[in-house]
Structure 1
Amino acid sequence: MPKLVDHEERRAQIIDALLRAAADTGLHAVTMRSVALEAGISVRLVQYYFDTKEQLLLAALNRLTARMGERVRDRVRRTGTAPSPRDIVEAVLLEAVPTDEESRIFHLVHTEYAVLSITDPALGGQQFLAAPAEMEAFLVGHLAAARQAGETDPRMDARQEAVVLMAVSAGLGLSVLLGQRTADEATAVLHYQLGQLFPARE
């Protein structure tokens, strides 16, 4: 009896192959053939699941975004049964620092997507910006909750601080990718920044 094919598993296999190939050679150099080679399958099979390279790129971007959310939730769960607003904010920001191979690939490829989306309309600039916009709104909500709970300066502007924190964490993540500083050094900077915002915890 022929083995049944799990189509979702096959799609995930192809997407993961694209991400590995992009981490090795750059997103711009990825082709359907190079993805097939990385996945150990035929080009025709890749094309069966994804008609075009653009479809594959968008599917991989969605997978990156979903996996980032999973990692943040895992980090929050590790803080305990009742995480504070600071715990949640810290979990989000620390995931912007590449600390292992999976997060290194995520941030490297995600940065390439950001650059490519500027000149490639097929990637959809608005779609690419949706996840960061949701993350910003998420941070604003938890910073406002922290202010309400008296954990921050009552004059703190939650939206402005969210923008600053996202910019700092993204910049630190890039500096780690470039080898400008280590993941531990970047993490220490984030902890310092959070200490300024949440002095009651220091």
Structure 2
Amino acid sequence: MPKVVDGDERRAHIADAVLRLAARDGLPAVSLRAVAAESGLNIGSVRHYFDSQHALLRFAMRTTIDRTSERLIARRERMPSMTDLPSAEIVGQLAEFLSELLPLDERRRVEVTVLVEFLLAARADPSLDDLAREAVEGTVTLARRALDARARTGRFAPLDPDVEAPRLAALLDGLAFRAVLQPDVAPPEECVAVLRAHLAELFREKG
């Protein structure tokens, strides 16, 4: 009997190959032939699911966004309520949560590297703008939700979320981009320390 191929599994396998290739050699290196070689498939198998480089890139970016979102949701579900936690523990919990967006290990380094490549490509290709905008706005939304949870505790001085949410998002983006573009300048431990210092300022109790 011919082997039954799981389409979703095969697409995910191809997406992983695209991410590795893009992170290692840049988006211009992502072609159907190169992805076939990276994934260990023949080019016909790749073409069966993706008919162009553009389709490959969009699917890889969609996969990256979805995987990151799934990890964040899973982490959020395991986090305790901020209401009764000491400030230091809130900072620790949030730092761990938001660190999903930082390239602190190989998996996240690949994802953030591809995100940087993709955002640069979207500047010149309007057909990629929707996913680029979703990725950028997603970080701001995440920061806004953390600040909304902060406000609900009633324990911290009021602040303007319209300013502080983009500010926290910009810090996360800046740390992530520096860490993939100049890893020697922004090693993982420094990224975490900077994030924790900023969160400690945000979650300093009244009085």
Structures share fold, TM-score greater than 0.5: yes
Shift of 1:184: 0.5
Alignment match, 1:12 = 12
Counting matched residue pairs gives 197
Q: Are 2:150 and 1:146 aligned?
A: yes
Aligned 8 A contact 2:143 2:168 in 1: no
Q: Secondary structure of 1:5's partner?
A: coil
Alignment match, 1:72 = 72
**CA distance in 1 between partners of 2:116 and 2:166 (Å):** 18
What's the TM-score once normalised by structure 1's chain length? 0.88
Runs of 4+ in 1 over 4 A off after TM superposition: 85-89
Q: Are 2:134 and 1:130 aligned?
A: yes
**CA distance in 2 between partners of 1:135 and 1:170 (Å):** 8
Deviations 1:63-106 (A, max 9, x none): 00011112223433554xx2428567534532222111100000
Aligned 8 A contact 1:22 1:29 in 2: yes
Alignment match, 2:166 = 163
* Letter aligned with residue 37 of structure 2: L
Q: Are 2:30 and 1:34 aligned?
A: no
Match 2:177 to one of 174, 178, 182: 174
Alignment match, 2:54 = 54
Aligned 8 A contact 1:96 1:173 in 2: yes
Task: List gaps (5 residues or longer) in structure 2.
Answer: 84-89
Deviations 1:121-176 (A, max 9, x none): 232x133202332442343233123123224312x011211100010111111222
What's the TM-score once normalised by structure 2's chain length? 0.86
Task: List gaps (5 residues or longer) in structure 1.
Answer: none
**CA distance in 2 between partners of 1:105 and 1:138 (Å):** 21
Distance 1:65 1:169, change over 3 A: same
Aligned 8 A contact 1:22 1:109 in 2: yes
RMSD over aligned Cα, in angstroms?
A: 2.1
Aligned 8 A contact 1:143 1:162 in 2: yes
Q: Are 2:119 and 1:121 aligned?
A: no
Alignment match, 1:189 = 194
Distance 1:149 1:188, change over 3 A: same
